[in-house]
Amino acid sequence: MSVLLSVGVVVLYKYVAPPISGMMVYKWWEQENYSIDYRWKSIQEIDSSVPLAFMASEDQKFLNHNGFDIVAIRKAIETNKDSKKKRGASTISQQVAKNVFLLPTKSYFRKGLEVYFTFLIEFVWGKERIMEVYINVVELGEGVYGIEAASQNYFKKSASKLGRIEAALVATSLPNPLFYSLAEPKAYMQKRKLWVLRQMNNLGGEGILSEWYE
């Protein structure tokens, strides 16, 4: 029954914007007077530099992997054997699976569910929908979820009006948007922004996403 329910929800979210995410629920439950700013926009209503910047910063193999970056996982395992600072290897697909459907707890069971939902969304949704959900639900500040809310809060305009430089700056806040605040960008963020812009060009520019914007 639970399998059928999970598949049904994944199929539903292929066509309907998730009304809330597991991450939002978790933080609302954990923090008193926690407010949520979440404004869904279709990917066609968001400047194409935004998904490109997020790919350049977070997951450069996004368009080609099946939900998991095996090379990055192996590197992380090797690095984490001897390092106190743990290295992650989550793809954008895994982050969507975790943030939308699960609570941010740490257990092997939760990790197993993340793998399950990652396979599901890769099979049912496809890359465009995964990216669309990601840029709408990703946390980009305290209670700020998605690129439209971030754009309105930090740049005072719609995400459809963002340019490449602003999109690259937003991407630098990940994966720790509460420390790397877009309200007061750190020097590191300004430096990394230039790196993200170079990577956007190296990936092939916005043209690699032309099918999503036809």
pLDDT tens digits for 114-149? 999 999 999 999 999 999 999 999 999 999 999 999
Q: Which domain CATH number covers 105?
A: 1.10.3810.10
For residue 168, give Cα distances in angstroms to 11, 14, 110, 199, 205: 31, 27, 31, 10, 12
What pTM did the predictor assign?
Answer: 0.93
Asked whether residue 5 is assigned to any structural domain, the reply reads: no
The token pair at 127 is 């890359």
Count up the domains in the chain and report the number: 1
For the chain, the farthest-separated pair of C-alpha atoms sits apart, in whole angstroms, at: 51
pLDDT at residue 82 tops 70: no
Question: Does any domain span residue 12?
Answer: no
Parent domain of 158: 21-209
List all residues 6 or more positions away from 153 whose beta carbon is below 8 Å from its beta carbon.
37, 141, 144, 182, 183
Q: What is the pLDDT of residues 145-195, one digit of tens each?
A: 999 999 999 999 999 999 999 999 999 999 999 999 999 999 999 999 999
CA 191: distance to chain centroid? 21
Handedness of CA 81, 78, 127, 171 (dihedral sign): positive
d(CA 177, CA 172): 8
User: Hey, what are 142's tokens?
Assistant: 């305290």
User: What does the pLDDT average to over 42-52?
Assistant: 97
**Would residue 10 count as lying in a domain?**
no
CA-to-CA distance for 27 and 100, rounded, in angstroms? 13
Q: Is residue 16 part of a domain?
A: no
Residue 153 lies in a domain: yes
Domain membership flag for residue 187:
yes
